[in-house]
A and B are shown apart, each in its own frame.
Chain A
Amino acid sequence: MKKLISFILGSLFALNLSISVANAAANEVRVAYFLEWPSPNLEDMQKKNFAKALGVPVKWTNFTNGGAMTDAMLAGDIDISYSQGLVPFINAVKSNAPIKLVDIAMEYGMGGTTCVTSNASGITKANGSELEGKKVAVPLGTMAEYVFDESMKVVGADRSKMDIIQMDPEEGAAALVSGDVVMACLFGGNSIKAAVAVGSRLLTVQEARDAGILGIDITSVTDKFMKENPGMLRTFIEVTHEANDRYRAGKSDMNSMSKASEMKVADMKETLSGFKFLTPEETKQSMESGNLDGFLKGMGTPGGAVDTSFLPL
């Protein structure tokens, strides 16, 4: 019996220890990013400029959605998430995750995230209320859900009367093609291409812009990393903004960017054309009283999740 008790206590102790050790920081910076979501600083990633600037190795890990980035940050495997969607970030903050928003990666018109109605259904912006009672595919908890909500306000349809089906973009596109749903909200070039083949955008890019529907991707960081390495964080953001400057000046190395984001140069350029990379001044303005601030307040985000002090002004 003594053996049994000591075994149980021993394994409990080992378990506790192993879980807490997993959170101990290594001497490197671990960054999360997306493939097929290009940004100028990926050139620096490819050329290892971040490691040069930070003075320590930088390990980049790609993710498929922002929620997974949060999970990895909370598990202590990621320090900085670059271009996390704002909606997953807000969901995380609402569940009290200790992460902070320190920079805006990019703002984008809804060219890259949009709702497409099938031509067969005959639903357009004009008779949008006919969506009520029908099936629509929405990837819940992503930027596309936000676009869906805002678009419904524009066309005057009531979300609660619709049959909302949780579907990732690829599946949503497939369901739209097969006629299972009358509308699919999606992101990602390939999915939108497939959906537009049998349907049309509920709101054009311009209409969405006029309605103030805007996507924002952000840079988030764990509290621990922010407190322990403010200098590194500042340098990271500075290098990113330098890359953005370079892109604005048309001096970015498109080939290494396309290699880093695993896209064809032409496809990447098209995606990039929908992105707006803000200057540090614009970023600060957006974070304090502009688009980002409005977005956060509109989604009922608890305060104190935004920190502008790391911007290279």
Chain B
Amino acid sequence: MYGRRLIQTEKVDAVFGNPERAKGGTHWVIVGSAAILLVWLYYSWDIAKGFYPKSANELCQVAKINESLLGLKYQFPIEEREFKSTSIIKIENKNLQKITNEIQNSNDLNNQQKTTLVGYINKTKQLIPLLTNEDLIEMDTKIKISEMTNEIKQLSSNFKKDDYPFETEVQKNERLKGITEQGDWGIMTVRSGTGTIENTIEVPFIAETSKGLKFQAAAEELKIINDKFFKLRNHNPQFKNLIKQLKDEIKAYRKSLDDTEEIASDYAKNIVKIARRIEFASIYPPKALDDMQSAIIEFDNLQQKEQAGLRLIDILLFPAGTIVASGPSCSEQGSGRWLPKPSDTLNKFILMSKPSVGYKNIPLLWIEMIDVSSIIGFILPDWIADILPGEYPVHTSEGIVKENFKGKVLKLVTGDFKLFKIPVPYGHIWDSFLRVFLGLVFGIIIGVPLGLFMGLNRFAKGFFDPLIELYRPVPPLAWAPLIISVLGIDNTGKVFLLFMVSLSIMIISARAGASGTQLSKIHAAHSLGASKRQILRHVIFPNSLPEILTGIRVAVGMCWGTLVAAEFLAGTTGIGFVENVAKKYFQYEVIWITIFIMGMLGLLFDITLRKIIDKTIPWRGKG
């Protein structure tokens, strides 16, 4: 709104095409960021959580009903086009037809076998009308179906009542106890910075509201009916006799065949398989389940009506997915799953930022007190002690070790002594930062002089050009599979990979800068008596600096891009490592945190570089 007001009051006095028109406009930055945040809030369902904190719990109960209804619904043309019975009969008839054709066209079967097998197929075909005949359906089955229908109807009439499911005091207390234990929607349970990095139950399972309770109770009842219906089969005595007879006959037939008649045996086996599928499927006469169907539809409509406002919330505030119930838990499926809520992400970020928590026992960014001695030990090579004359001390027969000079030097060069301590940063962010930084520095140290040299010298250009041009277009990650084998899993390999990235960019930009220097300037310097060195130092280098610094900016971006992949390879630290491990455990919050950290660090690098560019080369674009 603020931006919109500004746009109206803003006077655009520059003509179109003038770069002045693109200057300023901080307000649009705010609007842009707000838009991103809004989209995030919306698709992570945080808006739903903010306005209707109970909606996830209620939708979980609705999902339970859907879960229970699914098995029942799929028997009927409610969401499908045809009855499950119809589609099964269609499929099996087709399969039987196919197998008949195969048998009759087979060259490996003799006529007698063909007749026997086709006879079995016909018998299998006769099974179906036994199941779909209305007169044959057993009284017992009929009663069971009508019982279930009545149960659904009863449930529908109860469901309308306000005080359903008639909860007793004891049940209520138990439920309330469960509610206090299960926590709220989302990870934010107590206060920010608590909990664990590991995934926890996201959506509270036990119904918290009276509306939710209704759905929960109905779902439980429906589940029982569903299970009963799932077990029910329309097997009348005629069917049972026929299928038993068929199975026995085929069994006897297969036994009578010897090894040479394996193909016939296989066909017989396939026929019996189809028969068994027909036996297992729920096939009913076309009209037998009409009452039940209308009862289910009635209940379905009723429960949708009962949802009332909740339905609207589901559609509007739970975009691209919804809450799904699965066994003993409810979960977010859809965009809410892979896009964690800003509040949860922030909470986990605060938690991870704590040095005591970190990720895999290593903090994101923290300082460690390190004795200076170990740094000295690292810098001084150990062989200094080895090349000194004399021997290292040997213990005496009394078991005492007496120090000598050589031993003391060894202690010095290995850092085995105590000095004062200084703070040194460490952690995932620091390690990643250091890798990028080192890769970049090495790239600049080698790339810039080489690039300048190539821009100025025919030999260098000719000699290095094929090498550089061959390796430059290769994506740095193409080297990755070799890195572990050649350079190992430590920092060397990762820094080397980043060095490869920055090197080619630095060479190209330095070379372009050097060869782009205006000849008139060089001539001017030359005629004023400048030496080669002076021309390089005072004319060519300052002129190519803008190109070089732009090259560094590009290289930083590329290095960040490669870093993640480099850290995917192997490692125990680094932002890429964190993301890679989080992926394996489906920790979406952590994944997003790493993405943000990388974005932020990249931005930080870029802003710093921009400042440096503005400070060091004010002549940029004005030469």
Determine the chain A residues whose CB is within 8 A of the CB of B485 once the complex forms.
Answer: 174, 177-178
Interface mask (A193-232 → B, CB under 8 Å = 1, otherwise 0): 0000000000000000000000000000001100110110
Is there a chain A Cβ closer than 8 Å to B583's Cβ? yes
Query: How many chain-B residues does the 8 Å CB contact rule pick out?
Result: 55
Does A67 contact B277, Cβ atoms closer than 8 Å? no
8 Å CB interface, A61-117 against B: 67, 70, 74, 91-92, 94-100
Known: A19-B335, A305-B327. A91 touches B320 (CB 8 A): no
Does A163 contact B321, Cβ atoms closer than 8 Å? no
Complex Cα spacing A304 to B334, Å: 22
Known: A140-B581, A167-B570. A304 touches B320 (CB 8 A): no
Determine the chain A residues whose CB is within 8 A of the CB of B203 once the complex forms.
Answer: 96
Does B584 contact A96, Cβ atoms closer than 8 Å? no
Is there a chain A Cβ closer than 8 Å to B6's Cβ? no
Instruction: Using CB atoms, name the residue of chain A closest to B39.
Output: A12
Does A67 contact B584, Cβ atoms closer than 8 Å? yes
Determine the chain A residues whose CB is within 8 A of the CB of B301 once the complex forms.
Answer: none
8 Å CB interface, B186-201 against A: 198-199, 201
Instruction: Using CB atoms, name the residue of chain A closest to B270.
Output: A52
Does B88 contact A231, Cβ atoms closer than 8 Å? yes
A-side interface size class: 35 or more
Does B95 contact A20, Cβ atoms closer than 8 Å? no
- Highest count of chain A CB atoms <10 Å: which of B273, B335, B586: B586
Complex Cα spacing A226 to B182, Å: 28
Does B320 contact A171, Cβ atoms closer than 8 Å? no
> Which of B202, B270, B320 interacts with A16 by CB under 8 Å?
B320
Complex Cα spacing A278 to B488, Å: 42
Does B484 contact A223, Cβ atoms closer than 8 Å? no
Is there a chain B Cβ closer than 8 Å to A122's Cβ? no
Determine the chain B residues whose CB is within 8 A of the CB of A96 once the complex forms.
Answer: 199, 201-203, 326, 329-331
Determine the chain B residues whose CB is within 8 A of the CB of A15 once the complex forms.
Answer: 319-320
Does B581 contact A91, Cβ atoms closer than 8 Å? no
8 Å CB interface, A250-295 against B: none
CB distance from B448 to the nearest CB of A (A): 32
Is there a chain A Cβ closer than 8 Å to B538's Cβ? no
Determine the chain A residues whose CB is within 8 A of the CB of B585 once the complex forms.
Answer: 91, 95, 141
Determine the chain B residues whose CB is within 8 A of the CB of A94 once the complex forms.
Answer: 198-199
Complex Cα spacing A94 to B273, Å: 37
Known: A20-B321, A174-B484. A55 touches B95 (CB 8 A): yes
Contacts beyond the supplied A19-B320, A96-B329, A178-B485: 10 A-B pairs with Cβ under 8 Å: A19-B334, A20-B321, A52-B270, A96-B331, A97-B586, A140-B584, A163-B572, A166-B571, A175-B570, A230-B230
25 interchain pairs, CB-CB under 8 A: A16-B320, A19-B320, A19-B334, A19-B335, A74-B333, A91-B585, A92-B586, A94-B199, A96-B201, A98-B324, A98-B325, A100-B326, A137-B570, A140-B581, A165-B489, A166-B571, A167-B489, A171-B484, A175-B488, A177-B485, A178-B485, A223-B327, A227-B74, A231-B280, A238-B273
10 closest cross-chain pairs (CB), A and B:
A141-B584, A96-B331, A304-B327, A98-B326, A55-B91, A19-B320, A95-B586, A304-B328, A227-B70, A180-B489
Interface positions of A (Cβ within 8 A of B) = 12, 15-16, 19-20, 52-53, 55-56, 67, 70, 74, 91-92, 94-100, 135, 137, 140-142, 160, 163-167, 171, 174-175, 177-178, 180-181, 223-224, 227-228, 230-231, 234-235, 238, 302-305
